[in-house]
Amino acid sequence: MESSEHRLPEHPPRGTRPGRPERQAPGGRAARRGSRTASAAPLGARAALRLSFARRAVLAVLLAGCAALSAGCAVRVPPTPRITITPASGTTAAPPEAGLVVRAEGGRLTSVLAFAGRDPVPGAFDSSHTVWRSSWTLRPGTQYVVDAVAIGAEGVTSQAAGGFRTLRPRREVAVASVAPYDGETVGIGMPIIVTFTRPVEDRAAVERALEVRGPAEGAWHWPGPAQVVYRPRRMWPANTKVRFTAHLAGVRAGPATYGVADRSVAFTVGRAMVSTVDTRAHQMAVRQDGVVAQRMPISAGMATTREYTTSSGTHLTMDKGNPVRMVSPGRHEGDPGYYDKLIGYAVRISNSGEYVHAMDNTWAQGRTNVSHGCVNVRPDQARWFYDHALRGDPVVVTGTSRRLEWNNGWGYWQLSWPRWLAGSALRGDGQAEPSSGTGPGRATVTSSPPSERGRTSSVP
């Protein structure tokens, strides 16, 4: 028996139909398929080439973007403000008159702290906040420390700190005395009188350092090289406050001469009390804030000599004592006209020995002038005047042939405002007005401290 094999049917090649033989003919479909297969390789190569070009273009774009991105993201440090402190840190003999200056370049100063020892140094910025200056000169022989902060245009801050020492002067000048006293209540005509320990050569430098804070315009006047006086243009308004400060520390007052300390005085201007003395009518009227408070019959100088003539003009009350010893000027015991008396309730109004004081000669008061130059009133009225008078109260005398000299006591109101300004080192020629003196034989009485009051030479 023949064996037979079971065979799976063969699948025709792809692209042929089963049961139908492939036709083979020259130039037929098979040949054309072969040609398409043969051309597949060149088409794939061109696609790959095109892909390569695209990838290169994308890569170039990415590289260019990366470069641009890298350039735009570069870290740039903004400039830092530069701070300069003058005097430079470490200086050991800085000139005090130059002051302290802090500058910022490329930014604005936001903070400056300076100390002289433990004391803060006052100062101010300019309008642009690029410069800070101390308000006044620096204290000689003193260690200073400074700390400053500045900020730039882009918010970057910088800080600088330093320290220096000012020079120690060979010669020193200081304020010896000031009138009025600190805390004193004074009259509306009161000047500020500053006396120095030595003559001042550079008056302009010292005058610049003198500060008056008050309710009225005023100016300084130099009666001499060691004294300067401040007077308002018009009398002080009543019931006001005034503060005087001499920023003298560090001021160069002359060659190798410096101020070593500041001095400050605060005082109050009290009620307006003005007295008018009419020597021809023999009357004195005292007004307080414009209202007559007292009318007093008086007896003034007999005017037989210049010495015995009461001076006319605007006096100021200077001090007072009860009693005051009054001795005849230029005379000795036994000489004609000699006297040595204790006079009660005496208020001084000049340096040439003129007072408003008590005298029990009511027969003359209101009728005739018989004194040696003073203005005398009844004892009870003299006591009232003594009790109510403040230093700097105006006493205006009229009716005599002698004029009060501007430098006789506190006769400063005798000068017109232009003449007063002429005695300023900053607003005039800085020269003292020529003095006309106090007259031959007339006693010259200088202002004395409280401990010495009550002993003076004068004429009752």
The residue among 244, 249, 310 whose CA lies nearest residue 277 is 310
Query: 100, exposed or middle or buried, with CB in 10 Å at 0-12, 13-18, 19+?
Result: buried
Please give the Cα distance from 135 to 123 (Å, whole number): 5
- Percent helix, strand, coil in the chain, to 5, is 15, 35, 50
Contact present, 267 and 242 (Cβ < 8 Å)? yes
Whether omega before 87 lies within 30 degrees of 0, making that bond cis, reads yes
Q: DSSP assignment of 90-132, as one string?
A: T-SSB-GGG--EEEEESSEEEEEEEEETTEEPPEEE-TTSSEE
Q: Which of 315, 357, 372, 388 is catalytic?
A: 357
Residue 88: φ, ψ to 5°: -70, 150
Rounded-to-10 torsion of CA 438, 439, 445, 446: 30
Cross-strand pairs, 158 = 150
Query: 86, exposed or middle or buried, with CB in 10 Å at 0-12, 13-18, 19+?
Result: middle
Residue type, 60: A
Exposure b/e, 43-52, CB count within 10 A at least 16 = b: eeeeeeeeee
Element at 41 (helix H, strand E): helix 29-72
Please give the Cα distance from 442 to 306 (Å, whole number): 8
Q: Which of 282, 315, 372, 374 is catalytic?
A: 374
Residue type, 285: A
- Specify the pairing of strand 257-259 against strand 171-173: parallel
Please give the Cα distance from 391 to 100 (Å, whole number): 40
C-alpha atoms less than 13 angstroms from C-alpha of 121 in its C-beta half-sphere: 29
Examine the residue annotation and report whether 73 is marked as an active-site residue of this protein: no
Q: Determine how many CB atoms are found less than 10 A away from the CB of residue 435.
A: 12
Which positions are annotated as active-site residues? 357, 374
